[in-house]
């Protein structure tokens, strides 16, 4: 295993343990999701939500999604994520 792989493994392990998402680069969450998908290739649908600050200092949201879920199931997936975030805080 290369040194870079060891560093990545440590960063992912720290990311998984940490209860404060604000202490990590947002890209690490995507990397962790990709690593999870390598081991669990059974996701039926994926939604990625991105929060950002716009040029005029307001908030903006961008999303990407793909998969099998119809419209109402997509909203249900977002709602389930909301509940998971609320319960973890």
Mean pLDDT of 5-20: 66
Percentage of the residues of the chain whose pLDDT score is greater than 70: 79
Summarize the chain as % helix, strand, coil (round to 5).
Answer: 55, 20, 25
Q: What is the 3-state secondary structure (H, E, C) of 31-57?
A: HHHHHHHHHCCCCCEEEEEEEEECCCC
Nearest to 46 by CA among 56, 36, 54, 57: 36
Domain residue spans in the chain? 1-41, 43-89
Mean pLDDT of 43-60: 92
């Amino acid at each position: 295993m290369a040194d870079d792989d060891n560093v990545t493994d440590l960063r992912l392990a720290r990311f998984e343990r940490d209860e404060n998402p604000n202490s990590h680069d947002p890209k690490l969450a995507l990397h962790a999701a990709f690593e999870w998908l390598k081991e669990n290739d059974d996701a039926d649908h994926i939604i990625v939500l991105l929060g950002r600050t716009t040029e005029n200092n307001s908030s903006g949201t961008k999303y990407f999604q793909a998969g099998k879920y119809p419209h109402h199931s997509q909203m249900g997936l977002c709602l389930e994520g909301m509940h998971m975030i609320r319960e973890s805080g």
